[in-house]
Structure 1
């Protein structure tokens, strides 16, 4: 993959979650569900009472957004590992959605605050952002370059630290570090053995 063009020495990617069924979307790097765009017109309901209640929603509720910023020329986290900054953005906090936010505030529901995470594994986040777009569960909003295919992300950064099926990223990271230390130790022992022979 060619070296990406950057703006202000960084790459950035922002996607908004949106799918045909208005279902929440699982984001593996955080091991949690995020809200997709909710459109009352897209929901098919069986009974008239539910349909009437759905008509009370004052408009389309936008999906949460996933943002990744990859600063250029930062110290790596390890071989093939690049640090980045990840954010989960809540568009309902924007002025353009003030009436929706007020309506939701009257419900027995609570809006999430925006989450900001530093020193996340950029390759893992970008891989899953690419997968969300490929799977049709997110749409690109703004990026310094076109969102790459998940295969191209793997070619550039290696395997994502967390695949979404099993261990949490910190355990995988610790195991990878232990594996590298063991390899270095075995290499050292091997060299020592040859010297003694």
Structure 2
């Protein structure tokens, strides 16, 4: 195995493991409280959202990876891919931990239509981190225009199908708007 690939895999495994342990010690359930694991959870307004391996928010995490690759490529053009990946993992894992604090969970419940949101399961957060890694590596291989097309496609798709996406998620977390909340509620 290529040493760069091996090192990158070790870095990813380490970050996922440490984040999973932190989330578990914070009280997040390892899997859905329903007692089973699904590959896909397609119902957004459900107590099982953010509890299984993937859901409608998985594309947002792929977008994170694309954006982090671009950001760290611009900020650290001479750094290795492994170093840039480690920095992307610091940000993504930090977000997964912050997202599962009472402060952010309560903010989602107050400011968005996510009234039944109680945080992510450990398996969902781990899969979200891996989705970011996929986005990061896609961006490292694709031309810039293709990365931009992927971002626009995922944002348009989730906005159209579930009335949410990365942009709306950030907007509603940082600057909630009643009109957007009403629109998202259908």
Compute the TM-score of the two structures, normalised by the length of structure 1.
Answer: 0.24
Q: Which has the larger radius of gyration?
A: 1
Higher helix share: 2
Compute the TM-score of the two structures, normalised by the length of structure 2.
Answer: 0.25
Q: RCO (CA 8 Å, sep 6+): is it higher in 1 or 2?
A: 2
